[in-house]
């Protein structure tokens, strides 16, 4: 599978099997996350894995039935005390760094035959309380991970804008 095939294969999965995820696959995904680039190489990242009872608790900050079907969830956090801020305008690159690392992780998961979904529409304050996160840690994305229970034909077609809308040569 070349890179374009892998990137095209990744899709949001919202129904999981109960089958547990092997530790070797977790290690592989985290290695892919670790090699991601970050602004000034500050790596303002913290990835927290929850399963079992903690996963049930986490459901409160994203109360969707499908979310509970995932055997585990990674909470991708940014550490605002360690992120790079651009000097010209103080723009904080925390989100960008976390997003790149999550992208590495979900593509590695796809390669390993696992399904993922990026979730932003959760209650971040509640999530911080459930995980007892320090003030400067921001939970940026919830990434449920597991073996997909979706049939390929149930997965919608990838709807994407035309290349001419997305790319401009000047
Ligand atoms: C930043 C971001 C936030 C997202 N938040 C949610 C979310 O809260 N809930 C959800 O079900 N899907 C969420 N998604 C998944 C998108 O809906 C999905 O990526 C998009 O519809 C394209 O479909 P695909 O991932 O299957 O290619 C999010 C995706 C991204 C990148």
> Which domains, ranges and CATH numbers included, belong to the chain?
9-149 (3.40.109.10)
Kind of pairing, strands 115-116 and 137-146?
antiparallel
- pLDDT per residue rounded down to tens, the chain (170 residues): 999 999 999 999 999 999 999 999 999 999 999 999 999 999 999 999 999 999 999 999 999 999 999 999 999 999 999 999 999 999 999 999 999 999 999 999 999 999 999 999 999 999 999 999 999 999 999 999 999 999 877 777 789 999 999 999 99
Based on the number of CB atoms within 10 Å of its own CB, is 146 exposed (0-12), middle (13-18) or buried (19 or more)? buried
76 lines ligand 1 (CB under 6 A): no
Distance 73 CA to ligand 1 centre (A): 15
**Nearest residue by C-alpha to atom 20 in ligand 1:** 12
Which residue shows structure tokens 């360690």?
82
Q: Which among 111, 3, 5, 92 has a CA at the least distance from the CA of 40?
A: 92
- For residues 124 and 130, give the distance between their C-alpha atoms in angstroms, rounded to a whole number: 10
112 lines ligand 1 (CB under 6 A): no
Distance 46 CA to ligand 1 centre (A): 21
- Entry pTM: 0.96
**Nearest residue by C-alpha to atom 28 in ligand 1:** 118
Helix ranges, 82-123 (H) = 94-111
Distance 117 CA to ligand 1 centre (A): 7
Which ligand 1 atom sits closest to the C-alpha of 14? 11
């Amino acid at each position: 599978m070349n890179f374009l095939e892998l990137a095209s294969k990744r899709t949001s999965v919202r129904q999981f099997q109960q089958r547990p995820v092997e530790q070797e696959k977790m290690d592989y995904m985290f290695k892919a996350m670790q090699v991601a680039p970050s602004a000034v190489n500050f790596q303002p990242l913290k990835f927290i894995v929850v399963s079992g009872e903690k996963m049930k608790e986490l459901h409160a900050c994203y109360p969707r039935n499908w979310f509970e079907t995932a055997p585990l969830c990674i909470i991708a956090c940014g550490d605002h005390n360690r992120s790079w801020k651009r000097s010209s305008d103080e723009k904080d690159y925390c989100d960008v760094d976390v997003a790149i690392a999550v992208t590495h992780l979900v593509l590695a998961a796809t390669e390993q035959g696992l399904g993922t979904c990026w979730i932003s529409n959760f209650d971040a304050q509640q999530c911080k309380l459930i995980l007892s996160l320090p003030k400067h840690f921001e939970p940026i994305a919830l990434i449920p991970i597991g073996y997909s229970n979706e049939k390929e034909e149930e997965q919608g077609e990838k709807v994407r804008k035309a290349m001419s809308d997305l790319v401009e040569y000047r």
